Structure 1
Amino acid sequence: MYPFRHIKFWLLVLCCWGSCALILQAQAVFVTPYPQEADIRVFVTNNQFQADLVVFKVPFITDITQPGYWYFAEYEFDAQRKICFVKNVYEAHLIIYYTKHRVEAGWRRPDKSYLFR
């Protein structure tokens, strides 16, 4: 009986660790109007090939399954990062392009992925 409890415990730990890893990889963001409060300043472009990241908006945090899927959190504590949208590209840490297709979402410049670690 004891080995089964031990196995159940480690399975529970692995499941929790896996879900935490997904949340850490997830890109749940909270939008703040103040650049000094933001972790990342973001510029939105109309040109997909200029973007560092192609973003697909998802309606639920559970829909975040890969980089490039963004969930816009209503509350700051639900988000992984605070972002602020800027009007000039030279002020931005990250340039994004919004897509309507899930398959297009992802990093175009993976060297910028450190912003979400």
Structure 2
Amino acid sequence: MFLVEREPMAIIFQTHSVPDAHMKVHVTKNPGVADLFVYPVSSMGMAKGDALWFITESRARATTRIFLSPLAEAALIVYYVKSQAESGWRNNKQLGKSL
């Protein structure tokens, strides 16, 4: 699902309920199939844009709720990178201005 306007998805909550999720996401170990390279950050204040994710255990603090899904069902495929410089969109699947 392509969204036109939305807050950056930087603060992520993993839900275990599809209806509760904003989107289905697949985490891949193959960088060649990823839409977005994500760098996980250690604090909420460092979360920024679509590619610097802070994973929270608080549903209320999250800007985006994701459901981890199989590749075939995913609206977004992410690959975790080891440096902030590597993070960012890898193709034209960018969802509006931000997720």
Identity among equivalent pairs (%)? 29
* TM-score of the superposed pair, with normalisation by structure 2: 0.82
Q: Secondary structure at the match of 2:50?
A: coil
Larger Rg: 1
Matching of residues 17-36 of structure 1 within 5 Å: 24-36=7-19
Aligned length: 92
Q: Residue type matched to 1:95 in 2? A: I
- Which one has the bigger helix percentage? 1
Matching of residues 103-114 of structure 1 within 5 Å: 103-114=85-96
Structure 1 segments unaligned to the other structure (5+ residues): 1-23
What's 2:20 paired with?
37
Higher relative contact order (CA 8 A, sep 6+): 2
Cα RMSD, aligned residues only: 1.6
* TM-score of the superposed pair, with normalisation by structure 1: 0.71
- 1:66 Cα deviation from its structure 2 partner: 4.1
Structure 2 segments unaligned to the other structure (5+ residues): 1-6
